Copies of this chain bind each other. A is one copy, B any other.
Amino acid sequence: MFFKKVTIIGLGLIGGSLAWGLKKTGQIQEVTGVDIDEDTLEYAVNKNIVDNVSSDPNEAVRNTDLVVVATHVGLIPKVVNSLIANLSAKTTITDVGSIKEDIVKEIEGFLPSDVHFVGGHPIAGSERSGISYSDGELFIGKECVLTPTSRTDKESLNKVDNMWKLVGSNVITMDPQYHDRVFAYVSHLPHVVAYALINSVGSARGGDKIFSFAGGGLKDFTRISESSPELWSEILLANKHNILESLEEFKKEIEKIQGAMEEEDFKKLKGNLSKAVNFKQNID
């Protein structure tokens, strides 16, 4: 057995999938799920996603090897804070929030020295949310970023690293600050752009009719604009500084294309688009 007990707080898409994935390995003696929603707990039990459920997080985290906070990103520090008094010295607490700098800083600010926290971010989100979309194989082959700092306990980092590897993830570590800058560009900026693109089409004269021709390219952009506005508003505010910086860069690039179009400078325009094609080759 890797762990005697893992407790997951918040059984949404990520928390539910993690509980299920861990349970399927047979390497955890007890996987406990906590949620405030009774239907979610019932679903988790019926689908055999967890071993036990609880609606009392303070009770559920006692005598646990690993506590995973998988609530909305805006709630994470508050939830961690509320649990501290009930954690034993051998317990490691981690999270799955998609921003890290502020969360890690806030938590390390109030964490007693004998409680061990490791920041984490599994790259497996989707436009869907809720336990009904959870999948015990969600993390197989996906990246999971852990963000240890100078005060992170090495043994705790290993525990969290082992947990994500158990469910099939490739674990990467980076600074919380660097994480937030990278994800501003690869995830948060694209979401802002997708939301704004849909809004600009929807607000245009005859926008409702225009949408019916979305196959022409717009459709590629629309999956992520279905993502939860609640969750994404939290993310955008929590990583405000980096996202605003990336938005400035993005607007400059838009204006370069706009400028070349206004000047009807074919060569400049083609050069600009070719640059993107070259960058793009770095992705695959």
Contact = CB atoms under 8 A, between A and B. Distances in A.
Interface of A: 123, 125, 142-143, 182-183, 185-204, 207-226, 229-230, 232-234, 236-237, 240, 243-244, 246-247, 249-254, 256-258, 261-262, 264, 266, 269-280, 282-283
Nearest to A232: B273
A192 B236 contact: no
- Copies, count: 2
Contacts of A275: 199, 202
Chain A: interface secondary structure?
Answer: helix
Contacts of A214: 186, 283
Contacts of A277: 225-226, 229
A194 B257 CA distance: 11
Given A143-B215, A185-B218, A198 B276 contact: yes
Question: Which of A123, A216, A244 is most buried by chain B, counting CB atoms within 10 A of its CB?
Answer: A216
11 contacts: A123-B215, A186-B213, A186-B217, A187-B216, A190-B221, A194-B220, A196-B253, A221-B221, A236-B261, A237-B264, A240-B261
Contacts of A189: 197, 200-201
A236 B279 contact: no
